[in-house]
Structure formats: C-alpha cells, structure tokens
Amino acid sequence: MAGCQPIIHKKSETLESNLEQQLEQLVENDISSLLKGALRGIEKEGLRVDYLGQLSQKEHPEGLGSALTNGTVTTDFSEALLEFVTPVFDDGAAALQFLESLHQFTYGQLSEELIWAGSMPCHIHNSEAIPVAWYGSSNIGRLKHIYRVGLEHRYGKMMQTIAGIHYNFSLPDVFWRSFQELRGNTDSLQSFRSSGYFKMIRNFRRYSWLLLYLFGASPAVDASFLKGKSHPLHSLSDRTLYLPYATSLRMSDLGYSTKAQSSLNICFNHLNTFIASLDKAIHTPYPPYERIGVKVDGQYRQLSSSVLQIENEYYSDIRPKRGIRSGEKPLAGLRASGVEYIEVRLLDNNPFLPVGIDHRQTLFLDAFLISCLLMSDAVLCPAECRLVIDNQHKVLTRGREPGLLLVTPQGESTLVGTGKALIEKIKMTGEVLDRVHRKKEYSLAVDEQLRKLEDPNLTPSARMLAALQKTGQEYTEWILQKSREHKEFLLGSTPDAAILRDLAGKAEESLRQQQQLEAGDTINFEQFLAEYLAYA
C-alpha cells in the first residue's frame, strides 16, 4: 500500500512517543481547555426475556413506540433485541443517567419481562424461535426487515441475539479549528477533522486489545448457542461453555466474525479509501450469497447477493460516522460532509452493572480515545493490520493467560508489560483532562484499569467465571439472576419524571410518524430497493 510506514519503528519514533509532546502543546496553547466540549452518546442492546430466562416471543411493546421511527428505544436484529440510544451529552454522567431513564421507562412498558444483562444470549432451544425484527409496511421498514432476514440466511439467527454497547465520541469544531492551526494545516476544516478521526481510528485499532482485556465480559456462553457446531470451548457445567482465560467470546470468531468479511481488507487509513473499500463490498457479488438467492418464490431472502447488503453489515470494532438526512445512505453522508464522530463497537454488556456500563468506564474511554488522536500519524500497513488482528484474537480468547505475549512493532512483549506502558501514557491524557474539568476523576478511572493489569481477577471476565464457579449456576441461571437484580434496582431508583414524560411523548409521536411513512410511499418496493442500492 503506497505511503505505508515500515512496521518496525525506531525507538525514538514509537507509536506512543508523540503523545506527551502533543499534550504539552495543547496545554501551552490553551487548546486543552477545548476538550471540555467533547460529546458522547451511548447505544445499548438488551434482549427481552421472561422470568424463566426464555427469549420473548412478544412483539415490540406498543408503549415503546415505533421501532422504525423512535430514536431512543428501538430494536436491533431481533424483535426481542431492544436497543437504547441516548442523545449526545458533554458529560458522560448525564449520558449514563439518561440511559438509566431509558431502562426505567422501558420497564414501565414491559409485561412480566426482563432486560437480559449479558452480551451472549439466554438458553435458546431452537433458533427458529428467534423472531426477526419487524418495522411495518413502509418501503424503508420493509428494507430494514429484509436486511435482517438476509443476516439470518447469511449467518444464522443465533447471531441476531448477541448484544453489546456502542460508545459514540466526538470533539467540537472549535477544538478542531484550534488544533488545525497548531498543526499548521491548510486543508479545509472538514478534511482535517476527518483525517484526525481516522488517525484516532488507526491508533484505536492498534490498541483496542487493551479495551477487550479491561472490559470484556463474555468469557462463557449457554451451550445452546453453539448447538450442533464444532468449537474450541470447554464445558464449565452441563449447559455452560467457556474458555478459562477468555475476555469476550462475543467479539471472537464465535460471535461477530464472518468468513465473507474476513477477506475484505477494509482500509482504515483515509476516508476516501474507507468509502471505496465498503462501496466495493456492497457492489461485489459473493457466490455463496448468490446461491441463497435474493427473491425466491416471491419472498425476499436478502437485499442483494453482494459481500455486504448495506454498510452496516460490516462488523468492525470501530466506525467513522456522521448524522444523515432521511433517506441518505451513510457512505453518501461521509463522502459529502466528512466524519462527525466515531462509534466504538467492541464493548460487552457488563452483567455486574445495572445498565451494562458505568461512569468510570466512560471516563477511561474518553482518555483512551483522545490519546489515540494524539499518538502516531503512521498509517496501517497490511503487515501491521495482520498483527492487530492476531493480537485481538489472542486477547479475546486468552487475554488473562499468565505471561501472554503480544507482538508489537518493536517485537514481542507481555500483555501486562505492554498494557501498563500504554496506561501510563493514557494517564498523562487523564491528568490533562482532570485539570480541564477541575476534578481527579479521570486519573482515578485510569488507575482503576491499571489495577486490572496488576490483578487479572479484577476484570469483568474473571469475576464472571468466578461467580459461575462459586454459585454452581449455569450461565443462563446466573445472568437471569443478575437481570432480576438490575430490574429491582432500576425500579427502586427515583426516575426523572420530566425525562419519562418526554420519552412517552416521543413514543406516541413515533407511531404517528410510522403511519405517515406507510401512507406516503409513492413507488413500489422493487423500485425503492433498486434506487437505494445504487451507487452511494
């Protein structure tokens, strides 16, 4: 790939060495204060289950509004897979408070159901019992449903029950303008901002293994998830499978990983190459999907037979994103207006936490992402991309293994040693953020993660396996118990009445919006689909 740097960097030019200098420049030029305007939003998925831990067969509750048009409570791949979406906040604690309100509002609409606390699903005896999400009869609603039917045919229904958390993060334009001036860059603000986000993404990919170690919370799974499939997992008990040092089976080859996508080689170095790579995948036929067929006996099995039906089918651990207008495709939005924010997608639901994530985790994520922006400018060569993937796989399946070695551009190093060195760098960013916010919470959040490297038993994955072994419960029984505890906690907490009223109003309005969409279609679905799948 033209312009790639050698994979082995000189010691004086290590990927981290840039960070301290850039932090000093931000402080000296009074730009660091602009980091206070950072925005974050949280998307969190959770299955609806009954009190026996069985997957809900009920439709999306009407009291939650339309899954198609409600922007705060919707569904993901399955009708039973709730998705909560917060607005953006300049305070992570406020985002979490809103997420808690979303759970409280939802519990007010659920009849004898729980929100599953784990990322990996409950016991599912027969995958045919997994309901595919339905979005009504409008053209866009049918497209969303058929896309999910396509996922069923391509990857199986079980994959549609995996849940996780997405963390959306952005920096304000006033920061980007000042940072651009500091760097002496003369590109347009849009171009500079997009390049900055892609730099953040590249370094995120280099170091995302650390997040998998620190926050991975799916080391075990109900045996029904892999029924009839060969796998490398061990039996923890009659109906629970696990790997002794795993961190996140959700993000491993058992979860969000596909053979068709493994050969895509999506380029994360620049916006134009990223768009070109994804667009090519959307328009490149894939023989196994061609054999499935698109429309068979009058019924759609998928939107197309290409490697990707649409952009969102690409299961990356991080994505460049921007808000789009109604009817606009994500790639078209990126091409026209550049990157607006990044979406971190590798976070598991922590079953020990009522909403799956807490404030200290968001503080660390902020410091981690800003550090990634200020680290090396080097692009990812194919060789380093392979190194990144290999390290991620090791951490996903063996992350807490004593003495585990990772391969870095400087050679082999232990995960613990490499992680501690990286966290020391992130702490420098945390200290700057502490001064900006006039608090000590960022440094404390970083210190908490450092302790997980010093003692792997403090990680969510280790704590979960220890709980399963101590209680003797099966995976589904233990997560069911945690789900009940979280419901009791959430319903026992005093809700924000104003937020609940606003959510109820949005739910009612969303039902009217869906009706308007269904009444307003002016072309048939075949024409709509052809136009939608045309070049972005």
Q: By the 8 A CB rule, do 157 and 149 touch?
A: no
Give the residue among 532, 404, 434, 384 at the shortest CA–CA distance from 5. 384
Does residue 263 have a pLDDT over 70?
no
What dihedral do alpha carbons 313, 318, 322, 325 form, nearest 10°? 20
pLDDT of residue 107: 97
Does residue 291 have a pLDDT over 50?
yes
Q: pLDDT tens across 196-219, in order?
A: 999 999 999 999 999 999 999 999
Distance of alpha carbon 381 from alpha carbon 4, whole angstroms? 5
Q: By the 8 A CB rule, do 529 and 143 touch?
A: yes
Confidence of residue 9 (pLDDT cuts 50, 70, 90): very low
Does residue 407 have a pLDDT over 70?
yes
Q: pLDDT tens across 468-480, in order?
A: 999 999 999 999 9
Residue 361 phi/psi, 5-degree rounding, is -65, -40
pLDDT of residue 325: 78
Q: pLDDT tens across 55-70, in order?
A: 999 999 999 999 999 9
Distance of alpha carbon 355 from alpha carbon 96, whole angstroms? 8
Tokens of 153: 């045919």
Question: Is the CATH number of domain 11-533 3.30.590.20?
Answer: yes
pLDDT of residue 216: 98
Provide DSSP, 391-441. HHHHHHHHTTSTT-EEEETTEEEEHHHHHHHHHHHHHHHHHHHHHHHTSSH
With tokens 């408070």, the residue in question is 97
Does residue 4 have a pLDDT over 80?
no
Does residue 518 have a pLDDT over 60?
yes
Residues in the chain: 536
Rounded to the nearest integer, the mean pLDDT of the chain is 93
> Can you give the residue ranges of every domain in the chain?
11-533
Residue 472 phi/psi, 5-degree rounding, is 75, 10
pLDDT of residue 535: 61
Give the residue among 322, 40, 34 at the shortest CA–CA distance from 179. 34
Residue 406 phi/psi, 5-degree rounding, is -110, 155
Cα 415 from chain centre: 23
Q: By the 8 A CB rule, do 484 and 491 touch?
A: no
Distance of alpha carbon 345 from alpha carbon 319, whole angstroms? 8
Distance of alpha carbon 3 from alpha carbon 422, whole angstroms? 26
Does residue 3 have a pLDDT over 50?
no
Mean pLDDT, residues 228-237 taken together: 94
